[in-house]
Amino acid sequence: MNKLFGGLGIVVLFILLMALKSSCFDTEPAAPSPSEVSLSSEDTLELRSELAEKIRAKEKALMWQRIYVAGQTKGTRRHSIAFNVLKAMERQLRAMGHELKELQKK
């Protein structure tokens, strides 16, 4: 039974890492920050909706990562890696939230 959950945990961690990788390491060139470009209200609205959608997806992934971390035995290597991934996801989500606030000010 423990091997089943361990294997399932590895699969979940792999999926979360792939989702994290795809959102962090986009191969597209970096766009200028919203503060550097003056945008029309339509563009700002579109950017806000896209960012809000990304934030919702990140929150869902964060929820599953919390569940995974809670299932790991504290003090193990697997738990520490999962916990570090969780903290990185929280930082990214916080940064996305700040970016959304900046867009809402405009």
DSSP string computed for 33-58: PTTTS---HHHHHHHHHHHHHHHHHH
Closest CA to 86 of 25, 41, 42, 20: 20
Of the pLDDT bands very low, low, confident and very high (cuts 50, 70, 90), residue 87 is: very high
Q: Is residue 33 part of a domain?
A: no
Q: How far apart are CA 11 and CA 25, in angstroms?
A: 21
- Tokens 């992934």 belong to which residue? 61
- Does 31 map to a domain? no
- Rounded to an integer, the average pLDDT of 11-31 is 63
Range of the domain at 68: 2-22+40-105
State the total domains in the chain.
Answer: 1
| pLDDT score at 44 | 82
Residue 22 confidence (pLDDT): 63
Among residues 106, 67, 97, the alpha carbon closest in space to that of 85 is found at 67
Mean of the per-residue pLDDT values for the chain? Answer: 79
Residue 67 vs residue 34, higher pLDDT = 67
Kindly state the average pLDDT of the residues 11-18: 70
